[in-house]
Structure 1
Amino acid sequence: MITPEYCRMMARYNAWQNRQLTESLDGQSLEVLTEDRGAFFGSILGTLNHLLWGDLMWMARFDPSVEAPTVGVKQSVDLHPTLGAWSAARYHVDGKIGHWANSLRAMDLTGNLHWYSGTAKRDMVSPRTLCVAHMFNHQTHHRGQVHAMMTDVGLEAPVSDLFLLPGEG
């Protein structure tokens, strides 16, 4: 389904996108970042926090050196109260994702992943490759929501085309 090379490319894409979002949102007021815009996770910062929460949750399942968040999905929007706090945590997690992806071997992507889902309230089993693909898809999905909210506010959203990832193509 997916390869270590795919994971490395998507980890680079994720970090690039998050750097661009940080640069684009830097200097915006907390009011702009936290105003409920009708998105599933409310605001720009709420959505960014949820995305970071999801990355931490999935990475804790893939890499035992990553600590899972101590809050559930409903509280994920409040993970960090400011863009600066989010940005620092985001940089750290993107480094963890990059390190994990760079150390992957094909055999690391085989078999099933077993975990308890607090959201579904049950034990889960899915192919490891499906879970990894889901993590990267989840990132792209929620960044798309952030882009839409930025556009709605009148901010210029950064380029997000995968084929424009520096160093690719």
Structure 2
Amino acid sequence: MTDLALDHVRRMARYNRWANNRLYDACAMLSPEDYFAPRPSFFGSIHATLNHILVGDSIWLGRFTGSVPAHLTRLDMILHEDLATLRAAREAKDAEIIAFTDGLDSAALSGSFTYRNMRGDEFTDPLFPPLTHFFNHQTHHRGQVHGLLSHAGVEPPELDLIYFLRESGQS
């Protein structure tokens, strides 16, 4: 794998942290009633969607590292009951993601890994495409929360990668 691919996954890890910080800042502007309110979305609320992103990230990062937390048994789990503890867990997970991508080298990124899905089926895949999926999954669900924020009366933040690149000076 090229240095460009390594640079890309490291940039995406930092973009993920940046976008999450902006999204959580916007969510903190909501009243608890609006934050937890049932909404027409796949996971049913802003809080549940943010929990899902953390669940998905924890599962995939665990697959990449060979240590999926055993307590993660459903994609709709509520890991944290309030925004403050969810945000703290999110920040910790983002730090883990950055540490993981910073620890990769070309050989690891070009290599394969073996994991089990939630049904117990075993797969061996090259690392790079699922790692790309990992970042795409985060962006997909952040976009859902972004839309839910606009319906809740809070101006959604700019989350596009280009804004991160300009703000951070990365290219």
TM-score (norm 2): 0.89
**Rounded Cα–Cα distance in structure 2 between residues aligned with 1:84 and 1:150:** 17
* 1:125 CA displacement: 2.7
C-alpha deviation, 1:72, in angstroms: 2.0
2:80 aligned partner: 80
- Does 52-61 or 159-168 show the bigger shift? 159-168
One-letter amino acid of the counterpart of residue 152, structure 2:
V
Q: State the alpha-carbon separation in 2 of the partners of residues 74 and 61 from structure 1.
A: 15
Report the Cα distance in structure 2 between the residues aligned to 1:142 and 1:22, rounded to whole angstroms. Answer: 13
Residues 46-95 of structure 1 deviation map (CA, whole Å, 9 limit, x = unaligned)? 0000001111111111225x65261322442x111111011000010000
Amino acid of the residue matched to residue 170 of structure 2?
E
User: 1:11 is matched by which residue type in structure 2?
Assistant: A
**DSSP-derived class of the 1:124 partner:** strand
CA distance in 2, matches of 1:31, 1:4: 42
After TM superposition, give the deviation of residue 157 of structure 1 in Å: 0.8
Is the aligned partner of 1:70 residue 2:100?
no
Question: 1 CA distance for matches of 2:76 and 2:160?
Answer: 30
The corresponding residue for 2:151 is 152
SS at the partner of 1:3?
A: helix
Contact 1:53/1:69 (8 A) holds in 2: no
Identity %: 36
Q: Does the Cα contact within 8 Å between 1:36 and 1:42 map onto a contact in 2?
A: yes
> Mind listing any 5+ residue stretches in structure 2 that lack a counterpart?
none
Q: CA RMSD of the aligned region, Å?
A: 1.8
Q: Post-superposition shift, 1:121?
A: 4.3
State the alpha-carbon separation in 1 of the partners of residues 68 and 96 from structure 2: 11
**CA deviation after TM superposition for structure 1 residue 3, in Å:** 1.3
* Displacement after TM superposition at 1:36 (Å): 1.9
Length-normalised TM-score, structure 1: 0.90
- Corresponding residue number in structure 1 for 2:90: 90
Aligned length: 166
Q: Distance in 2 between matches of 1:74 and 1:161?
A: 25
Q: Is the 8 A contact 1:33 1:44 kept in 2?
A: yes
SS at match of 2:42: coil
AA in 1 matched with 2:91: Y
Specify the alignment match of 2:142 in structure 1: 143
Which ranges of structure 1 fall in alignment gaps of 5 or more residues?
none
Distance 1:93 1:137 in 2: 16
Give a deviation string over 1:11-35, Cα, whole Å, max 9, x none.
0100001111121111423321222
